[in-house]
Structures are given as C-alpha cells and as structure tokens.
Structure 1
C-alpha cells in the first residue's frame, strides 16, 4: 500500500490531516459494528424460530442493503427513518444495531441534533451491552469532535483510551483531534506519537498518526 503521506504537499495543514484521521476512525467504528453483527448471526438464527423475530431480522437486513448504496442527504435521512422503524419492533440486538445506523445516517444527512439524541440514548442506556455502548460513543465522537463540549468528549473517551482497551488507538486519536481544536498542538502531537509507537495499533493508523504528528511539528515515530 502506498504511504498516503508521500502523496501530500509538505505544507499540508494539520486541519486537513485531522479531517482524514476522522474519516479513518469512522471506518474503524464500522468494522467493529460489522464484527458485532457477525457475532449476532447465531442470535439471528434463533430469532428465525419465531415468526415476529424473523420479520425483524429480514427488515433490518433489507434496510442495511439499501444503506450500502451511496445517496443524497435526503436519501440518507429516509434510510435513517427506516432504521428507526426497525428499531421500534426488533429484538434488542438488531434494535441497537438499527439505532447505530440510524444515528450515523442522520449525522451524514446533516441532522446532527437528531443523531446525537439517538447516540445519547444508547450511551446512557445502562442495560445495553457495554460493547455496543462503546461503539455508540465512538460513533458520537466521530461526528461531535468539532462541536461537543470538550469536557464531555474527554469524559466519554477517557475509559476507551485506557491501557488494554481495544478502542485505545482511535480514542487517543480523537483526544488528539480535540487538542488540535483547542489549540494544544504540542499535546496533540505527543498523543499521536503514542498511537504511532504502540505496536498494537493497526499499521495504517500508525502511519496516519505519525504523519499527522509530523504535520504538527513532532519528530518521526521511533517505530
């Protein structure tokens, strides 16, 4: 794979790099959701033993197929409403996945307030599977990093950025983006180098974090 940083000009601004970092992290979140959906396949088989649950599974998959196609903001908003309808009648597992997709589509359609209401409902639901709450937090952060209250972002990402957390690289990256937003570029560079030097971080994310850190004036990663 060609290193993306070989293709950018030397004077590329850190803000442009931060937008790329945000898009990468969104992809990381989507992969996590797909993994959870895969684990839920066994549950889907059980649901098919009951007619109503089978209908819910079929409805979810049908809307998911439509969401895979690119469309206008109006199309994404319409699909979000369809996911919301699925969530109202589906069993808890599919209902949560439907809500996650609903929130992402609403945000992509420019309906940030509506999306945040969905994400907050999931994040604050103590009865929800902790992994799904974490996915909701990452999804929220992906879209709210430029607008949400900094103290709220820090509070929500702190646990996910802890040692041993599978979300650590992406959570640290978001915290670095928050530091850039607040004008703390040296702190952001240090955090990004921490991501780049962590061997548990995926290779593409390490290269990206290293490149962004250098754009902020830090030395190259030692890895």
Structure 2
C-alpha cells in the first residue's frame, strides 16, 4: 500500500499548491502549500480504516504519477474516476486535485464547484477545511469581499487547523478590497500572534504592513487585475518591486498534477 504520508508530501511539493493563489497577490501562493501540510496525521490514520483504502491509494498514486508524465489536463480523467469510485478520503483528495487542475486552466467557477463538493464530502474537519480554504483562495481575486469573508470566517475558529492561513487570506482580501486600515490591523495581529508558528507568515505580514505604510498598496486592486489579464507566463514574471514581501512563493508556472 502506498504510504499516505508520501502522497501528502508529494502534494506539498506540487507547483500547483505552491502557486494556487499566485494570480491574486505575489506572495499569497504560499498559503496553499502550507494549508495541505496538516492533513497527514488525522486523515492518514482514518483513511486506512476503510475497506477499499488499498485500491483507492494505488489508483490515486497512479493518477499522481500520470499527471507528472502527461500534465494536469490529461491526468484529470484519472482523478475524476477516483472521485466517483474511491474511498471517501480519496474521493475528497481527488476532487481537490480536480479543482486545482481547473484553476490552472482559469476555470474558476468549475474549480470552486469541485472544492465545495470536496468540503461537503470530506470525512473529517481537516480535509473539509482544506477544501474550503482552497475554494476561498480561488475566489480571492474575483469574488466580492463579503463572499470571500463568508467562506473564510468558519475556518478561523480556535480549533480549525488552518485558522492562521484563513486569517492571512482575509487580511489580503481586505487589502485588495481597499480596506487598508482593516488589512493593516489583521496583518499586525499576524505579525506578532502567538497562534502563528510560521516565520514566513510573520514575514509576509510585515511586508504587507510596509507596503501599506509606504502608500504603494493604494493601487493594488488595479495592479492585480492587470496582472490577471496578462498571459500566464507574463503574469508570473512581473517585477515585484522593493515593497514585495520576503520569502515570496516560487513564481513558477504549474507543470504537474502531483
């Protein structure tokens, strides 16, 4: 049986999850990579308790390997098959993969539909919140602020495994919506919060505060929209400028379905 922790690690290294929200803001892409990190402990144990875990695991691994060879689009049918016939946990992961593939293709509405379906199907809160976070990140640059806020708020509870990532995403949503004061307040908390164990989150928060204080955040929404309108290769190589937050997520075009 394929080790579930190897699969989670494989996804963690995936270019897609590292750059899922890159189109929204230059350094938000790191959120998605961090988001998947916590799935191993809880889901890794419970998924093995299901009767068809071995078969589903092998099919899922085969789909990952196929995606690495032929690319995300051609790997989609494999994940789609798992989403219909696999165990509940693997169905959920397959739906998240499908959403990520559609997001790469700029099919945001379809991607969100798969993420939302995964959130409803998920066998535990860890995978449910992971799918919900992906859904919110996918909508970060297109949906009204209130819609994004409504998706992120349930993920910010004390027991949510992705509360820090959800709070960071909400801060960026406020920043993009033009609520600079509100965004600065959120980033200020993130930069010093004891709830936050990630130096990268603190650094991004400090970088965002510096951008707000320098006045360069005023035209952020227009800049993001212009970047989204560019071809993917151009958008991913836009200069970030002196106010860019440190430790930006790698700006590389997704090239695998791992």
Shift in CA distance, 36/187, structure 1 to aligned 2, threshold 3 Å: same
- Alpha-carbon separation, structure 1, partners of 2:193 and 2:64: 34
**CA deviations over 1:74-93 (Å, ceiling 9, x no partner):** x3222233211111110111
Q: 5+ residue gaps in structure 2?
A: 1-21, 215-258
Q: Secondary structure at the match of 1:21?
A: coil
- Preserved CA contact (<8 Å) 2:157 2:163: yes
The residue aligned with 2:62 is 62
Structure of greater relative contact order (alpha carbons < 8 Å, 6+ residues apart): 2
Shift in CA distance, 193/80, structure 1 to aligned 2, threshold 3 Å: farther
Alignment of 1:40-55 (within 5 A): 40=46, 42-43=48-49, 47=51, 54-55=54-55
Count of residue pairs brought into register by the alignment: 192
The residue aligned with 1:96 is 92
**CA deviations over 1:35-84 (Å, ceiling 9, x no partner):** 555335633xx64xx6xx533221111112344x387xxx3222233211
Shift in CA distance, 99/169, structure 1 to aligned 2, threshold 3 Å: same
- Alpha-carbon separation, structure 2, partners of 1:62 and 1:127: 21
The residue aligned with 1:197 is 192
- Alpha-carbon separation, structure 2, partners of 1:144 and 1:34: 26
Calculate the TM-score normalised by the size of structure 2.
0.66
Shift in CA distance, 56/66, structure 1 to aligned 2, threshold 3 Å: same
Shift in CA distance, 135/182, structure 1 to aligned 2, threshold 3 Å: same
- Preserved CA contact (<8 Å) 2:188 2:206: yes
Q: 5+ residue gaps in structure 1?
A: 1-15, 219-223
More helix by share: 1
- Alpha-carbon separation, structure 2, partners of 1:142 and 1:63: 24
The residue aligned with 2:111 is 115
Of 123, 141, 148, the match for 1:146: 141
Q: Secondary structure at the match of 2:95?
A: helix
- Alpha-carbon separation, structure 2, partners of 1:138 and 1:216: 25
- Alpha-carbon separation, structure 2, partners of 1:205 and 1:70: 33
Shift in CA distance, 20/38, structure 1 to aligned 2, threshold 3 Å: farther
- Preserved CA contact (<8 Å) 1:189 1:214: no
Task: Report how far residue 139 of structure 1 moved.
Answer: 0.8
| Rg larger for | 1
Q: Secondary structure at the match of 1:216?
A: helix
